[in-house]
Chains A and B, each alone.
Chain A
Amino acid sequence: MNVPLPVFVAAPLVAAFVLPAFGARLKSAGTFLANVVVLALLGLSVLLLGQTQVYEVGGWSVPLGINLVLDGFSALMLVAVAVVSTAAMLFSIRYMEQYTAKTKYLSLFLLMVAGMNGVVLSGDVFNLYVFLEIASIASYALVGFGCDHEELEASFKYMVLGSIASVFILFGVALVYGNTGSLNMAYIARAIQEAGMNSGLALALSLFVAGFGLKAALVPFHAWLPDAHPSAPAPISAMLSGVLIKALGVYALSRLIFNVFGVSVPIAWVLIALGVLSMVIGVFLAVGQWDFKRLLAYHSISQMGYVVLGLGIGALILARDGNRMWASLAILGGLFHLANHAVFKSLLFLTSGSVEMATGTRQLKQMGGLVERMPLTRAASAVASASIAGVPPFNGFWSKLILVIAAVQARLFVIAAVTVLVSLVTLLSFLKVQRYVFLGELPDNLRGARESKGSMLLAMGFLAVLCLAMSLLVLLPGLRETVLQPAVDVLLAGVGYSVTLVKL
């Protein structure tokens, strides 16, 4: 089916600018409109899975005009964005009633979705930067949405580091344009193939690694994330940890490294190092946390390490001209873990929001015994914890298993062992969450805690079912061929891919 690609940017963008006109009086109409938009995008993105399309904006052909490119990797990211934004939007219907200015919230939310879809679809580096800024600015405002001491402080910290990252990326774009004379990714890839790397392009690549690394919160660029993600309202934490760091950070970085600059052994080791550092440092920082959402935020850093590690191992095998099947497996593990993390981490943040709404606190030590009062939230949280810790048969187990196998095949035995170890520490950390939040004795002041209702439960249920169902994405060959394999093939094809895409 032919779906015009600009819809993914235009629909949320138009809705974002129409919504403030609704004001407080038509709040429910605005909420309805926002939900319809994200649901429609979910439907459309699922239709596009596994397809390849190029859309020329305004009818201008490629070297002159701007193009939007959809391939397997973009389609996978579009679906991830749509799934998480649908769940977060459903959750917001009730959750955001405790804040004022709900229509402004919805408007910023849709702006962020438009920006992320734009980043994922953009076929040239400058538009990627523009959409990245749209999504980032909306997210800075959403982190500070509560306008209290902590929120403002976190928002400022996030905004300073985010802006520095954006300037780095723009500087990289300028260097690339100066050295290749083009902004289109396919043309840049061809120019680099013909003329080879030079010092300007190498500087651009390192600026991209730093800039997108900051956006993805990889260690050592992670300092802002544990402040920013917990300070946002829970559905926004779910969006930030679930998809924003992936679309703006990991997607953009791997697109540029694999498809534009081309993989090489040094850059593959940079990815592996970033991945292992994030995995290990993230999880050890998470263990000591007693703030529910802060703990989850540190685990996001750790889990993003797995994704980058998978991509790095794939890049290493490709750069050494090793067995492409094992490279394919490593990238599959990374991308599958990316999709899985989007689902289980947003579910964890939604359950933390539901707990916070019922108890009024985020401190683990002040909770306990909530399984009596909130059995359904507890069930959702248990499913998500099992997924993130890699307990079979939930989705997190399969992606981690694939990553370990890939690491062993690449003869990186130490890294394979570290991967398993980090997974065990993650399990311990989530046993602590279950023990302190849901089990144990119910404190007297929480006897009145009430289970969340309606749309909030629906959103959590939707994601919990996905946590189980996504295991089928690797277990059923048919599903794997349509959902994950096209995305893997895009990265495997390397610089050749974007060249065939625009038929040079």
Chain B
Amino acid sequence: MAIKVVHHGLATTVQDLGRPGYFHLGIPVGGAMDRYAMRAANLLVGNDEGAAGLEAVFMGPQLEFTADALVAVTGADMPVKIDGVDQPGWTALKVKAGQKLSFDFLNSGARICIAVSGGIDVPVALGSRSTYPIGALGGYKGRPIQAGDELPVGEGSLASEGRSVDPGLRRVPGKLAELRVLPGLYWHRLTEAAKETFFADEWKVANEADRMGYRFKGGRKLDLVEREQPFGAGSDPSNIVDSCYPYGSIQVPGGTEPIILHRDAVSGGGYFMVGTVIAADMDLIGQLQPHTPTRFVKVDMDQALAARADEAVRLERLRVTLKS
């Protein structure tokens, strides 16, 4: 069985839960930007949570199925259609051979996850089917899908048609995004005033926002504590001796536009970082559209771990409710 790509949308890639273990060589973990949504989509169609699906940003693809299958679309609110007929999101849908899955305009959020019973069966590369486009690694030929591609699909079961995720277990981003941040890394480089304005100001998602990183604009410039630059860092005060970048870490080149590093992040570099978005909020970032007003909310480690525990509970409830 295969899926024929009639139209690829804007940027649609094969993703699973990622490729851990190679960050020390600069190869990022990758995987779905909104992992909760990808897990939910897979569970709906009876796959393992870690099966490969498609992630589409802003605009959905148009896909034709060569055999009967179950599909589920989760994540952003983007109306789903089968042969032009509206279908619910977050629900296991039957698609018959020859039918086409397509999408209407995006209402809210940024990324949808599309799971197919059996999973997208592209070759595993370094332990994952995720696409790492700049490294031309994984996914379908190491790149986003294109019209004319035929995506192989594994063997799946058609048993669980009609199941859906409880609305209380779907996460839809609000009008104002709040991202919880643990200050740290090179936080001490900021002046006291900058430490205040970073959390006080309202930022907006910039146009340069993708799987590698999300840039933000609109807050006041962050001044750095004066110092003689350490040898090897470079002369700009925002430069450091190149170090590792944690996932979710927020670098601020020149002190002006914070960039949150995401799933396809570079693994290190020479810009200072003010702290890190906590793991519980990483999925949310991938659902932010450009211009979304955003506040960074200061938390400590205990709060970060409590938020992490809340997420684990939510995921467990999802698993329990979808267990057939």
Task: Report whether chain A binds chain B.
Answer: no
* B interface list, Cβ under 8 A from A: none
* A interface list, Cβ under 8 A from B: none
